[in-house]
Amino acid sequence: MKKSWIIIIVVVLIVLIGFNYGKGKYNTMVVANETVDAQWAQVENVYQRRADLIPNLVATVKGYAGHEKETLEGVVQARAKATSTTINANNMNPAALQKFQAAQDGLSSALSRLMVVVEKYPDLKANQNFLQLQAQLEGTENRITVERKRFNEAARDYNLSIKMFPNNMFANMFGFDSKAYFEAKQGSDEAPKVEF
């Protein structure tokens, strides 16, 4: 009788230790997943900040460079496309992230073309409103870079945690999938050609 109680106690202790271990691993993966999701929300936040600045920038430029209609419309269209392309943080796969990144790259390209147009208008370059908007836009671009880097770091930590043994068994059991990373634009590793 005493021997059976010892066996029952040992089995119960093993089950409790196993349960606590599994619970700890699961909770660690949940925290890492939520960290990635929160960082993704911050990435979207700074992209939204950029999108919110663009109408003011376009309106300011329009006052000086009204005949640059094609460039201004290109910026507005690129902004509309960028703000309509969204990703659910829980379903972040490389294809969805690439589509999102392509829309954002299109907006960056349109803004670059707008800044080239601005060079033709010295009065616009001296306009205080434009200078403030341009400084805010530059600051936002820097924030985007920082937040994308932080997102990639959070995604890396999460991906490592679900791929390492024995976490990978729990990750497969509970349906934790890898998160995609932001990647550099194709061709960004080559220096741009400058021609005079």
CATH number at residue 68: 1.20.1440.20
Q: Is 113 part of a structural domain of the chain? A: yes
Residue 58: which domain range? 37-174
Model confidence over 10-60: pLDDT tens digits? 899 999 998 888 888 889 888 998 898 889 888 888 888 888 888 877 777
pLDDT at site 12? 92
Q: For residues 47 and 103, is the Cβ–Cβ distance under 8 A?
A: no
Q: Work out how many domains the chain is built from and give that number.
A: 1
Q: Is 122 part of a structural domain of the chain? A: yes
- Please, which pLDDT band fits residue 186 given cuts at 50, 70 and 90? low
Confirm whether pTM is higher than 0.85.
Answer: no
Residues making up the chain, counted from first to last: 196
Q: Is 65 part of a structural domain of the chain? A: yes
Nearest alpha-carbon partner for 104 in 61, 140, 72: 140
Q: Is 14 part of a structural domain of the chain? A: no
Mean pLDDT across the chain: 80
Higher pLDDT, 11 or 120: 11
Q: What distances in angstroms separate CA 196 from CA 133, 148, 192, 193, one per listed residue? A: 29, 34, 13, 10
DSSP 164: S
